[in-house]
Amino acid sequence: MYVAVKGGEAAILATHDLVAEARRGDENVPELAVTQIREQMGLACARVMNEGSLYDPDLAALALKQSQGDAIEAAFLMRAYRTTLPRFGSSEPVDTARMAIRRRVSATYKDLPGGQVLGPTYDYTHRLFDFSLMEEARVMVGPDPTISGPESDSGAHPSGDARVEPGHDAKPLDAFMPRVPDILGAEGLMEEEAPPAGDPRPFDLTREPVSFPAERDVRLQAMARGDEGFLLGLGYSVQRGFGGNHPFVGEVRVGEVSVEFVPEELGFAVDLGEITLTECQMVNQFTGSKDVPPQFTRGYGLSFGHSERKAMSMSLVDRALKCREFGEAADYPAQQDEFVLYHSDNVEAAGFVEHLKLPHYVDFQGELELIRRIRRERAERLAREDEPLPEVAE
C-alpha cells in the first residue's frame, strides 16, 4: 500500500473509483455481461482458469471483466479466491481416452482409430479481419442477457471465411478413442509410464514447499498453472536448437471428461460433472542407451478448457525436463527444472516485478548519495592528476 504517499488511504480509495470508471468506459456503449465473456471469449477464460489454478468458467469471465481483460490480473483474482475454498479431497484420475471429443488431430498418423476430428480451430482460417463482426445487429443486454435485433444478413462466417455447407453426412464419433502413444506402446516403441511404487498421492505445490530436483508431478503442476507465453517461449527454444530432440505431435485432443470423487462415507465413486480439457502428447525420438533400446519418448500437457497452445508448450517443456531420466545433459534453460518452475508462475513474477512501483525512497536516497560521493571523489582525483608538477630548482 502507498502509505508513504501524501494523501495515504484516501488517495488509494480514490484510485478505486478511477479504476471502476476506466473499466466501464464510454457509458453510451452497452456494458459487457459476464455471460457474454464466458460464451464468446472462451479461449481467454480457459487461460485464466489455467493460470488461476481453478476450473470455473463463470468466475474466469468475472475476473476478466473486473481486470479489464488483463489475463495475469484475472489469474491473480482466481488464485486469491481459490485460497478461500474448503478442500474435501481429491478426485479420481480422469480418463481422457473416453473423452467426449470436440477436436482431435495427430501429426504422426493420417488414419488412426476414431479418425481425425478438426473441430473448432483457427488453424485453417486465413487470418483476415472479418469486418462483419463489427456490425451491431445482435446485441446482448441486461444482467441476464437476451438477444435482440435482427439476424445479420451478412454471408460471412464468424471464422472469417465464407460459410460452407458440409458436403457429407455427419457421422457419430467413437465413444472410445485410444491415444496415439498407446498405439506405439502396443508395439513396444514408446517408453513405458507407470505410477510410482505404491501409487502415492501427487505432490501439492499449493500446500507444500517445492524442493529441487523436482519430481515430474511437481513439474507438471507448476506448468499447468504457469504463464502460457513463458512456456511457449521455452518450447520454441527447444525447437530452435536449445534442445536435442525433434518433436512430433502424437495427438492433441479437446473435449469433455467426467470427474468422479469417492466420499469417505460412501466408499464408491460419485460423478461430479464434466469439465473441458485439452490434452497433448508429444512424441520425441530417443536413440537409446546402454540399458534402454532406441524408442520414442513422450512429453505431456494437460490444461483446462480449449487451450492447445498451452498444452503443446507444456508437453515440449515436459520432455525437455526429463533429460536426466534419459542420461541427457541439462545444458539449456528448458531443461533446468529450477529455472522453469521459479520463473513460469506469472502471478509470482508479476508481484516481484510490480513491487518496484512501491516506495523505495530510503533505498534510492542511499544509492543517490553513493553516486554523488563517487563522482566527487572521481572529480578530486582527476583534479589532482591535472595539477602541474612543482618546479625543481637546478
Grid cell in block for residue 220: 507438471
- The C-alpha atoms of residue 351 and residue 362 are separated, in whole angstroms, by 21
Category of 168 on φ-ψ map: left (φ > 0), alpha (ψ -120 to 50) or beta: beta
C-alpha distances in Å from residue 43, one per residue of 11, 47, 206 = 36, 6, 25
C-beta separation of 51 from 76 below 8 A:
no
Q: Which three cell numbers stand for residue 326?
A: 534419459
pLDDT of residue 345: 94
- Check residue 195 and give its pLDDT: 78
pLDDT at res. 10: 85
Across the chain, where does the E strand assignment appear?
100-105, 139-141, 146-148, 247-261, 270-286, 295-304
Q: Backbone phi, then psi, for 102, in 5-degree steps?
A: -100, -40
User: pLDDT tens track of the chain, all 394 residues?
Assistant: 334 445 578 888 888 999 999 999 999 999 999 999 999 999 999 999 999 999 999 999 999 999 999 999 999 999 999 999 998 888 999 999 889 999 999 999 888 888 899 999 999 999 999 998 888 755 555 444 433 333 444 444 444 444 445 555 567 777 778 888 888 888 888 888 877 777 788 889 988 899 999 999 999 999 999 999 999 999 999 988 787 667 899 999 999 999 999 998 888 999 999 999 999 999 988 777 777 778 888 999 999 999 999 999 999 999 999 988 888 888 999 999 999 999 999 999 999 999 998 889 999 999 999 999 999 999 999 988 877 767 766 6
